Chains A and B, each alone.
Chain A
């Protein structure tokens, strides 16, 4: 478009110059004048076409509200106004000057003077012509006396005397007879044309101005030679007189000036019209070029602004990759370059933020994975005591899914999970005291029994966050660990005790029997009785001690379990029957679940468990009231853990708070009788089966309840029991 415009501009400008030149001097480009006129007209049409096309584009852009269109429009209007107005003013005055100027060329006086000078030239030449005609006639008369044969000898002399350039004698038909010339370059004599010959043939003489000889004026006289002399044929003579020197020059000047002036005068209106046409073409060309240039400039000017608008829109829509072409080194170019730099920096910053976000997310995911796989429970609380983070192990340790309570305050959680009270209170106390790091052992009494948790906590200040202070609490269930340590200690002690005690018992018993046997009969009356009673006491007490030692040994013995599929309901009924027989007045209520699955367990050991527990319950209930027991079995499937729960409720006095936590340890008992190992053995056997057992006071305040939970395992998965147990403990 630009190149087309520039080429057209150059061509039109050149052709206008050529036209102007042709108008002033037809020798230059005169023959192309019409073509140039047509070309310029067509060029103007093309320019108008270009302008209209631009205008249509601009109107379309205005309608579509393209950025920069209004600015382009205003600039075009301004440019057009600024360029058209002075051009039109100049055009108006130029037209006026043109008319006046051309009219002033032609003056009546000048015209008259030229006419007069031409007339003067003519008169002057005519006078000379008459003189020459007269002389020529005389020579013609002379020639009438000279024969054609003699003429060549005379003719030079006549010409010289006459002062003519050329003297020729010829027939009336124009055939040369003799000729004399003063110019040796003229090889052939000049022949009058047919019209002159015709005139002479009619008997008339000819005298005239000849303009055809080398640009010089000459006077041609053609006269009939009188036909009364020696030659009978009609002859004529022609004389050419040169008009030489100053007269020739002046006459030529006058003639050419006259011709030029006459031509210009004749063409005055056409000349004006021609100039007006050129001036109009120039004006239109200037206006159209200016308007077209205005369009082009305005578009060039608006282009970076349009780009900027589009770029800003892109940035607003979040596309920071937009880079605009820099238009140049001016202020606009600087602005666009700054815009590019800005978007580049924003894009870099965004990429950096995104990268660090991804890194943070990856770090977070990594940490979550690590924390999730930790065997320790972990909680994070914010300043308002709200739960922010809980890991998987927390749910497993506390037996509840706290993930559902994220965002709840600890107090609200406590309302729903009362058994978490020791833990929550401990945490709250440290939060209130604002201690940095803390570590404390907490004991919970949950549905799964007593739990000892080793808690440690700390306050962390996270920079950059509003609620920056958070509390992190990590805890481990060390119940099994402590229990294991205690059990191991007890087992060791029992084993050593049994070993140490058992050895002297047999000699004591043998010694007592021997003493009795040897000295019973030798004693006097009444003494043997005493002897018998004392030795019996020794022997019985030794027996009792042996039993006790055996019990100890059994407690310390490593578990050798003989598993089989056991129906717990049946086992319970069997044991209950035994006790009913022992105490027919007792009331034992059985609420046994009919769909209880069989479990893989050691029948004898479980029987012992129930024996011990029932015995315990009977012992606890031996007061004024009759024994009233309730035995329940349930099949519970809780959070994917499938187990059987057996509850044995007695109607005794219940357990005091300090005993209830240690009742399963050896030698912890509220009874006056007993080894204190019954419940310890129960616990040991239950744990060997991967279960848990605990005692709790009944909610109605009457008696206590022994709760056993045994996992339901497949018959062939006995080898995995250890693992399962461990998993449950953790």
Chain B
């Protein structure tokens, strides 16, 4: 569906026999549900993500490595004979860091700069995974005659990891955390 540079690189690397099957990674980040509703002429989405980090990532996080988590949102118009046309594409960027002085986890919304502090990792992940009333698209942009779908996916942004770590992420699947695309229909 959406091909970015990193996917391409990874696609090349998947050819290597070192990598574990994709199915093994599917459970780590997943979209529990996503739904949209109209509020004041704007389609707002509520999303629940379920995220569970493996020990390697948690270890890196606690050793000062900050983790960027991207939530990709797309609105597409369904077409019968061609692929669905992309209407809008939004990515929400979150950064998760460990704060050694307070031993807290800090989540920063990179778009707005808002920071939230959590005592433990699960709370931080739950915070990231609970997106409520996010204004995705004006209702006016969607034609009543057509049907539209929304797509959401979350992944750990490998490219934002420190460069020394990147070569090992290329050959190790433990860093490749991403959910399947979750699809819902605009009503």
Chain B residue nearest to A210 in the complex (CB): B117
Contact A31 B164 (CB under 8 A): no
Q: Is B144 interfacial (CB-CB < 8 Å)?
A: no
Q: How far is the CA of A210 from the CA of B119 in the complex (A)?
A: 11
Q: Is B22 interfacial (CB-CB < 8 Å)?
A: no
Chain A residue nearest to B98 in the complex (CB): A259
Known: A260-B64, A267-B164, A267-B165. 6 other contacts (CB 8 A): A22-B163, A195-B119, A211-B104, A212-B116, A251-B101, A263-B64
Q: How far is the CA of A161 from the CA of B65 in the complex (A)?
A: 41
Contact B117 A266 (CB under 8 A): no
Mask for A121-134, Cβ within 8 A of B = 1, else 0? 11001000000000
Q: Which A residues are in CB contact (< 8 Å) with B99?
A: 211, 255
Contact A26 B101 (CB under 8 A): no
> Shortest distance in angstroms between B27's beta carbon and chain A's nearest beta carbon?
25
Contact with A26, one of B6, B117, B163 (Cβ below 8 angstroms)? B163
Q: Is A372 interfacial (CB-CB < 8 Å)?
A: no
Chain A residue nearest to B60 in the complex (CB): A266
Contact B163 A209 (CB under 8 A): no
Contact A263 B167 (CB under 8 A): no
> Shortest distance in angstroms between A28's beta carbon and chain B's nearest beta carbon?
9
Q: How far is the CA of A208 from the CA of B127 in the complex (A)?
A: 19
Chain A residue nearest to B59 in the complex (CB): A266
Chain A residue nearest to B68 in the complex (CB): A31
A/B interface sample: 29 pairs, CB < 8 A: A23-B164, A30-B159, A31-B160, A34-B158, A34-B167, A35-B5, A35-B9, A121-B101, A193-B116, A195-B118, A209-B102, A209-B104, A212-B106, A212-B115, A255-B101, A258-B64, A259-B100, A261-B64, A263-B63, A263-B65, A266-B59, A266-B60, A267-B63, A270-B168, A271-B164, A274-B163, A274-B164, A274-B166, A274-B167
Contact B164 A270 (CB under 8 A): yes
Contact B65 A211 (CB under 8 A): no
Q: How far is the CA of A23 from the CA of B116 in the complex (A)?
A: 29
| Known contacts A195-B118, A211-B117, A263-B63; is-contact A34 B9 (Cβ 8 Å) | yes
Which 3 interchain pairs have the tightest Cβ spacing?
A263-B64, A266-B63, A31-B159
Contact A262 B64 (CB under 8 A): yes
Chain A residue nearest to B114 in the complex (CB): A212
Chain B residue nearest to A255 in the complex (CB): B101
> Shortest distance in angstroms between A212's beta carbon and chain B's nearest beta carbon?
4
Count residues of B near A (Cβ-Cβ below 8 Å).
Answer: 34
Chain A residue nearest to B159 in the complex (CB): A31
Contact A266 B65 (CB under 8 A): yes
Contact A118 B100 (CB under 8 A): yes
Q: Which A residues are in CB contact (< 8 Å) with B59?
A: 266
Q: Which of B12, B119, B158, B164 has the most CB of A within 10 A?
A: B164
Q: Is B170 interfacial (CB-CB < 8 Å)?
A: yes
Chain A residue nearest to B158 in the complex (CB): A34
Q: Is A555 interfacial (CB-CB < 8 Å)?
A: no
Q: Is A37 interfacial (CB-CB < 8 Å)?
A: yes
Contact with A265, one of B5, B63, B100, B104 (Cβ below 8 angstroms)? B63
Q: Is A334 interfacial (CB-CB < 8 Å)?
A: no
> Shortest distance in angstroms between B74's beta carbon and chain A's nearest beta carbon?
21
Which residues 242-289 of A sit at the B interface, judged by CB distance below 8 A? Answer: 251, 254-255, 258-263, 265-267, 270-271, 273-274, 277
Residues of B bordering A, CB below 8 Å:
5-6, 9, 12, 59-60, 63-65, 99-102, 104, 106, 115-119, 123, 127, 158-160, 162-170
Chain A residue nearest to B118 in the complex (CB): A195
| Known contacts A121-B101, A208-B104; is-contact A33 B65 (Cβ 8 Å) | no
Contact A38 B101 (CB under 8 A): no
> Shortest distance in angstroms between A196's beta carbon and chain B's nearest beta carbon?
9
Q: Which A residues are in CB contact (< 8 Å) with B63?
A: 262-263, 265-267
Q: How big is chain A's contact interface, by range? A: 35 or more
Q: Which of A19, A251, A259, A277 has the most CB of B within 10 A?
A: A259
Contact with A262, one of B100, B101, B163 (Cβ below 8 angstroms)? B100
Q: Which of B100, B115, B170 has the most CB of A within 10 A?
A: B100
| Known contacts A30-B163, A212-B116, A260-B64; is-contact A37 B100 (Cβ 8 Å) | no
Q: How far is the CA of A273 from the CA of B99 in the complex (A)?
A: 27
Contact A122 B159 (CB under 8 A): no
Q: Which B residues are in CB contact (< 8 Å) with A267?
A: 63, 65, 162, 164-165
> Shortest distance in angstroms between A276's beta carbon and chain B's nearest beta carbon?
10
Q: How far is the CA of A262 from the CA of B60 in the complex (A)?
A: 10
Q: How far is the CA of A263 from the CA of B65 in the complex (A)?
A: 6
Q: Which of A33, A255, A271 has the most CB of B within 10 A?
A: A33
Contact A270 B165 (CB under 8 A): yes
Chain B residue nearest to A122 in the complex (CB): B101
Q: Which B residues are in CB contact (< 8 Å) with A265?
A: 63
Q: Which B residues are in CB contact (< 8 Å) with A32?
A: 159
Which residues 29-56 of A sit at the B interface, judged by CB distance below 8 A? Answer: 30-35, 37-38
Mask for A186-203, Cβ within 8 A of B = 1, else 0? 000000010100000000
Q: How far is the CA of A125 from the CA of B104 in the complex (A)?
A: 15
> Shortest distance in angstroms between A447's beta carbon and chain B's nearest beta carbon?
111
Q: Which A residues are in CB contact (< 8 Å) with B159?
A: 30-34
> Shortest distance in angstroms between B67's beta carbon and chain A's nearest beta carbon?
12
Q: How far is the CA of A35 from the CA of B164 in the complex (A)?
A: 13
Which residues 211-248 of A sit at the B interface, judged by CB distance below 8 A? Answer: 211-212, 217
Q: How far is the CA of A289 from the CA of B164 in the complex (A)?
A: 26
Q: Which B residues are in CB contact (< 8 Å) with A31?
A: 159-160
Q: Which B residues are in CB contact (< 8 Å) with A251?
A: 101
Contact A259 B123 (CB under 8 A): no
Q: How far is the CA of A102 from the CA of B48 in the complex (A)?
A: 43
| Known contacts A208-B104, A211-B101, A212-B116; is-contact A38 B162 (Cβ 8 Å) | no
Q: Which A residues are in CB contact (< 8 Å) with B9?
A: 34-35, 38
Q: Which A residues are in CB contact (< 8 Å) with B166?
A: 33-34, 37, 274
Q: How far is the CA of A274 from the CA of B166 in the complex (A)?
A: 9
Q: Which A residues are in CB contact (< 8 Å) with B65?
A: 263, 266-267
